[in-house]
Amino acid sequence: MGFFENLANDLAMGFGAKPKTKDFEARTARTIARNEGFNDVSQSQRATDYMAQRGVTQADIGNFSASTAPGYTSLRDRFDGGGMGMSGARFSRGNVSNFDTDGDKYISEQEYISAQTNFPDQYRTSTMGGIPSLSNRVGARPFVSYAQERDLFENTGVPGTNIGTTGIADYVGGGGFVGNILRGGAPGKLQQANPNMEQGARLTPDAVQAAAENPPPRKNPLNFFNFRDEEEENDIVEALRPKIRPNNFARGGIVSLTRR
């Protein structure tokens, strides 16, 4: 294998475009030590810690078998939610495979909700830092998550959740103001796993069938951010309406002068 081919492979593994090998990880530890000025890898605490974390030694240089340590398996794995080696309904970083309670390699919306209670510190670290934090805060969803939630009942026997975008991601995914008007206020396929159902509803077979036959009423298309529903808007209008008492009609202006 030539120099440039080796370089291309190392770059692909470094950026997560292809699975890492034990050889790559052992050489990475050697590079860490050399960057710190050590010729002996054992002199570098960072290199030693890295090898322990990845489960390799310097004897693994030349061992091209796949790494057994948790890690991103491909470039796609970095963008499909769920952290290393998993996919998920939300964006995560690191190894959060313990969130996957049913072992299907997909961390569902309900499993993320459970993780907030069962693993609060790990949940905050994995979803509220770095790039996952930005994606989650703008209301985006991983590109595979809609199909995974829709198929969850068939695959595991547990109904998925009708997840969807929120905030800025929802506005962009819905085509902005014009897209919302063209759809008459209904969510689009990029905004919800099942546009016929309310966001957050459980995707049981009966509920999905009922929603297909009788979809929910559409929201006001002019209210493209959908900040308030119709009942809330009526309450606001009523609160702003001038409160006129009958006895006040004869106590102002010319009428008042005439009575006096």
Of all residues in the chain, the percent with pLDDT exceeding 90 is 56
pTM flag (> 0.75): no
The residue ranges of every structural domain in the chain are: 3-60, 74-260
pLDDT band at 15 (very low <50, low <70, confident <90, very high): confident
> What pLDDT does 88 receive?
97
Q: How far is CA 149 from CA 11, 40, 205, 230, in A?
A: 34, 50, 12, 29
Distance CA 185, CA 218 (A): 5
Distance CA 93, CA 84 (A): 7
Tens digit of each residue's pLDDT (9 = 90 or more) over 181-239 = 887 778 889 999 999 999 999 999 999 999 999 877 666 655 544 444 455 545 544 55
Distance CA 121, CA 116 (A): 8
pLDDT band at 244 (very low <50, low <70, confident <90, very high): very low
Q: Is 134 helix (H, G, I), strand (E, B) or coil?
A: helix
Is 50 exceeded by the pLDDT of residue 98? yes
Distance CA 93, CA 75 (A): 13
Distance CA 56, CA 67 (A): 9
Tens digit of each residue's pLDDT (9 = 90 or more) over 20-51 = 899 999 999 999 999 999 999 999 999 998 89
> What pLDDT does 258 receive?
42
Q: What are the tokens at 239? A: 């609160």
Range in 105-109, 189-193, 229-233, 250-254 the model is least confident about = 250-254
